[in-house]
Amino acid sequence: MNGAATPVLKDLVLVGGGHSHVFVLKAFGMTPLPGVRITLVCRDVHTPYSGMLPGLIAGHYDFDEAHIDLQKLARFGGARFFHDEVVGLDLDKREVRFRSRPPLGYDVLSIDIGSNPARNEVPGAERYATAVKPIGRLVAKWEAVIARTLEAKGAWRIGVVGAGAAGVEVTLAMQYRLRELLRAVPGAADPEFHLFSSSPDVLPSHNRWVRSKFGRILEERGVRVHPASRVTSVTAEGVVDQGGGFHPLDEVLWTTQAAAQSWPAEAGLQVDERGFIQVDDTLQSLSHPNVLAAGDVATMVNHPREKAGVFAVRQGPPLAENVRRLLLGRRPERFRPQKRFLSLVSTGDKYAVASRSFWALEGGWVWNWKDSIDRKFMAKFGEELPKTMEHPPATLHTGLADDASRHLLSAGGMRCAGCGSKLGSGVLEKVLAKIEPLERDDVLVGLRGADDAAVWRVPCGKVAVQSVDFFGAIVNDPYVFGKIAAEHALSDLYAMGAEPQSALATAIVPYGLPPKEEQALFHLLSGANEVLREAGAALIGGHSTEGTDLALGLTVNGFSDPEDVWRKGGAQPGDRLILTKALGTGTLFAAEMARQAKGRWIAGAIASMLRSNRAAAGVLRDHGARSCTDVTGFGLLGHLLGLLRADDLGADLALEDLPILDGALETAAAGLLSTLHPENLRAEQALVPAAGDPGAALRLLLFDPQTSGGLLAAVPPDRALACLTELHEKGYPDAAVIGTVQPTGGVRLTATGA
């Protein structure tokens, strides 16, 4: 993944993709710090910009216009992207804890995870109310609200709890969007909207002119405002206010005072009475100076401010500067947030109110002004990012150079390859002590032994099936890459009808201080070992070395009954060709390296690559598959020809029936293709062109090399439909019948109808 010989000396971990962290990523992309490994951890691939959320709800913006693509931004910032959720910290060990993966060490940690509405204090709110925050999860929930409203037979009643800026904007945006949609539904009634305020007025933190203007606007729009009506409980039928009054509602949205996630306090960080991390003027934790925090999750003890996106945005540049200073061993700089700020509050339609201090203005021109400001902000982290960056030769700064010097001295001076660039025994021993391979009775000498080779017992009457794969990291998350590499290697066994038994690993980890190499190797092998264990295979040994890029190879071994071994030959004319996974990983990751792929496309491709072919192989066998292969580096056409040529057969291939990963057609059409693609094009001579133009991009995907692709099998025609149905039921939603085996050679392209 574009590694370098500069050793990894320090780890910067960014938890959360909030408004402050996007500045940090851009700053390090513009001016890298050699020797620092950056990792962004976020449960969302696209982070929403809060300023455009009302416009997104109202339908004025599409998804991409209102979201920052963290996958692209992390690539620009030279950061690894871990698509995961943090559940805790070990502050003594300096480790970040995850829900279902190994911990991650850090030297400097920054937290920007936003906040949640405070629902846990109100009975029934967490169960029956839809929270506006975290914003990243609201989009899908809003689509569900739209669907329920459109399906309602009578008038739908929607209540919004909280009448601050967020509550007012969300209420008016939802009302506008639903009214627009319901115009196309004959006889539909406009939904009722109820806004509940615990204060005597809406927008209590704004001046009286703003409150007056929105009081008028809400009345004109027919929104029923309930002042001084603090909600005390929520049920499936509605809400109860502080006076005991019951308000029947079909939907409840929650936008009240922000609340913190629990894990920062549970870890031992100093927090305020609401659980927000207390930081000083440098944005450093009061209790742990190597931990910084910004945005809603942080409370500046000397300059308390309300939880608003404008403050998170302003904290971005000083956070980036102070993170850099801490990594270099320098004193951080103090930052004082502004007391007054411009507030632009939208009204659902393209109209807004502007306020600052004691004045307020309104009009369509205010919305246009707000729209211009928001679009310029988003452009900084998207279209305005430089396509390529030219940096001077990597030079370690003084603070990091000292660490590098100590590292080289401890290693005996220069890094050499005379020993095969092997990792130190200390690193290897520590990693292997933490790896728990599957225990198998037939493994006599394995990972725990100190012998020179592994030994395992071969069952009587079985045949051994063995394969090897080795490739560089397709993703920069070593744990996920380890899982992908293992699934990719095991697919060869599944394609032959064998049951996995054991594996040997060959790993390359980037140069770094021993603890950094240890962490990378542990994450890599942990991911691979998890997949191997689930497949019933034991990791029994291997070899490790250091280099410029992360890479992993696996030699996998399996057993099968001789008569059950699948070969590429054996298909018969009339058999249906079934492909179990969608195509497109080659072009998508070529585009990702060029920062031209959307993050959700890459997330979808990773999910596909992590889907094991084990269950698919069982389904194919149960439905009488006569021949099977896995689709990997040679692309669909290359592997299909291998299956057909064994018996001198041909095939009709229905291009429009090919399952394609989201985004792959777009990236292929843009010419973003894998480096192996031109070599795979040599198979084009076996094609018989389609009667009509199937689309150039679709045709290109026939040659797209796949990583951890699907199985391609020839299934008897009378069993193909049942086979396909069971594949869908077993978790292969993209499985499809893509063609038919023919008695004559060559592959004839058809538009559809395999």
CATH number for the domain that contains residue 455: 3.30.1330.10
Run of H or E residues at 241: strand 238-241
Residue 109 lies in a domain: yes
CA distance 458 to 617: 23
- What's the structural domain count of the chain? 4
Model confidence at 592, pLDDT cuts 50, 70, 90, reads: very high
For residue 346, tell me if it sits in a domain. Answer: no
What would the mean pLDDT of 8-28 be, rounded to a whole number? 96
Dihedral angle over CA of 476, 329, 407, 529, nearest 10: -30
Per-residue pLDDT band at 690 (split at 50, 70, 90): low
How much is the average pLDDT of 295-317? Answer: 86
Q: What is the mean pLDDT of residues 379-388?
A: 88
- Same domain? For 243 and 275 the reply is no
Considering the domain architecture, whether residues 233 and 320 belong to the same structural domain is answered as no
If asked whether residues 250 and 287 sit together in one domain, one would say no
Tokens of 666: 């777009």
CA nearest neighbour of 335 among 373, 364, 305: 305
> What sign for the dihedral angle of Cα 531, 532, 534, 540?
negative
Q: Is residue 349 part of a domain?
A: no
Which residues are within 8 A (CB) of 624 and not within 5 positions of it... i.e. 6 or more apart? 715, 716, 719
For range 263-280, the mean pLDDT:
95
Average pLDDT, the chain: 90
Residues 611 and 731 in one domain: yes
pLDDT recorded at residue 391:
67
Say whether pLDDT at 25 is over 70. Answer: yes
Q: What is the pLDDT of residue 410?
A: 45
Distance of alpha carbon 52 from its chain centroid, rounded? 21
Of the listed ranges 130-144, 190-204, 686-700, the least confidently predicted one is: 686-700
Identify the residue whose tokens are 């290897």: 428
What average pLDDT does the segment 351-362 reach?
Answer: 91
Given this model, what pLDDT does residue 412 score? 42
Q: Highest-confidence range of 64-73, 187-196, 425-434, by mean pLDDT?
A: 64-73
Cβ neighbours of residue 516 closer than 8 Å, sequence gap 6 or more: 7, 8, 9, 11, 37
Whole-number pLDDT of residue 409: 40
Residue 557 CA: distances (Å) to CA of 57, 185, 435? 53, 60, 20
- Residues forming beta bridges with residue 464, ordered by sequence position: 559
Beta-strand runs (E) in 334-462: 343-347, 349-356, 359-363, 443-445, 455-456
| Across 260-287, average pLDDT | 95
Query: What is the C-alpha to C-alpha distance for residues 556 and 201, in angstroms, rounded to an integer?
Result: 68
Please list, in sequence order, all residues whose beta carbon lies within 8 angstroms of the beta carbon of residue 167, skipping any fewer than 6 positions away. 132, 160, 161, 195, 197, 202, 255, 256
Looking at residue 169, its pLDDT comes to: 95
Single-letter code of the amino acid located at 111? I
Position 404 confidence tier, pLDDT thresholds 50, 70, 90: low
- Its pTM stands at 0.91
Bridge-based pairing of strands 463-472 and 551-560 is antiparallel
Claim to verify: residue 710 and residue 588 sit in the same structural domain:
yes
pLDDT in the model for residue 256: 82
Residue 165 lies in a domain: yes
* Residues 607 and 634 occupy one common structural domain: yes
Token pair listed for 386 = 């430089």
CATH number of the CATH domain containing 597 = 3.90.650.10
pLDDT at 415: 55
* Of the candidates 618, 663, 501, 650, the residue with the CA atom closest to the CA atom of residue 72: 663
Shared-domain flag, residues 505 and 640: no
**d(Cα 168, Cα 740) in Å, to the nearest integer?**
58
Residue 675 lies in a domain: yes
Give the CA distances from residue 672 to residues 374, 481, 602, in Å, rounded to whole numbers and listed in that order. 30, 22, 14
What is the arithmetic mean of pLDDT over 423-429?
Answer: 73
Residue 693 CB-density burial (10 A; 0-12 exposed, 13-18 middle, 19+ buried): exposed
Cα dihedral 407/413/417/422 (nearest 10): -40
Report residue 443's pLDDT band, with 50, 70 and 90 as the boundaries: confident
Q: What is the mean pLDDT of residues 87-112?
A: 96
Burial (CB < 10 A; 0-12, 13-18, 19+), residue 649, is buried
* Residues ≥6 apart with Cβ < 8 Å to 211: 201, 202, 203, 204
C-alpha span between 577 and 311 (Å, rounded): 57
d(C-alpha 453, C-alpha 679), whole Å: 37
Do 129 and 251 lie in a common domain?
A: yes
pLDDT band at 557 (very low <50, low <70, confident <90, very high): very high
Residue 394 has pLDDT above 70, yes or no: no
Residue 273, H or E segment: none
Segment (H or E) for 382: none
Q: Is the pLDDT of residue 408 over 50?
A: no
pLDDT digits (tens, 9 = 90+) for 519-536: 999 999 999 999 999 999
Quick one: pLDDT at residue 102?
A: 95
Does residue 471 carry a pLDDT above 80? yes
217 near 345, Cβ under 8 Å? no
In the prediction, which pLDDT does 413 show?
Answer: 44
Asked which of 536, 563, 590 is the last residue of a domain, the reply is 563
Q: For tokens 């391979």, name the residue.
A: 437
For residue 413, is it within any domain?
Answer: no
CATH of the domain at 246: 3.50.50.60
Q: Would you say residue 186 has pLDDT above 70?
A: yes
* Predicted confidence (pLDDT) per residue in 696-754, tens digit: 889 999 999 999 999 999 999 999 999 999 999 999 999 999 999 999 888 999 876 54
Domain range for 323: 10-114+261-336
Do 106 and 214 reside in the same domain of the chain?
no
The pLDDT, as a whole number, for residue 395 is 63
**Range name among 148-162, 287-301, 441-455, 474-488 with the lowest pLDDT average:** 441-455
Domain limit, last residue, from 547, 563, 579: 563
Residues 583 and 699 in one domain: yes
DSSP letter for 190, please: P
**3-class SS string, 651-695:** EEEEHHHCCECCCHHHHHHCCCCCCCHHHHHHHHHHEECCCCCCC
> How far is the C-alpha of 5 from the C-alpha of 69, rounded, in Å?
29
Instruction: Say which residues have a Cβ less than 8 Å from residue 111's Cβ, sequence separation at least 6.
Output: 15, 16, 264, 277, 291, 292, 293, 294, 297, 298
Q: What is the mean pLDDT of residues 393-418?
A: 54
Domain final position from 314, 336, 358: 336
pLDDT beyond 50 at 411:
no
Note the pLDDT of residue 583. Answer: 98
Assess if residue 696 is contained within a domain.
yes
d(CA 491, CA 302): 58
467 and 453: one domain? Answer: yes
For residue 397, the model assigns a pLDDT of 65
Catalytic residue (choose from 42, 416, 419, 628) = 419
Same domain, 188 and 209: yes
In a domain, 201, yes or no: yes
pLDDT at 416 over 60: no
- Between 456 and 497, the more confident residue is 497
Structure tokens at 754: 């395999």
What number of other Cβ atoms are within 10 A of residue 338's Cβ? 10
In the prediction, which pLDDT does 130 show?
87
- The string of pLDDT tens digits covering residues 217-239 is 999 999 999 999 999 999 999 99
Written as one letter, the residue type at 591 is A
Burial bucket for residue 744 (CB in 10 Å: 0-12, 13-18, 19+): exposed
Catalytic, 419? Answer yes
Best CA proximity match to 203, nearest among 212, 194, 190: 212
Instruction: Calculate what percentage of the chain has a pLDDT beyond 90.
Output: 72
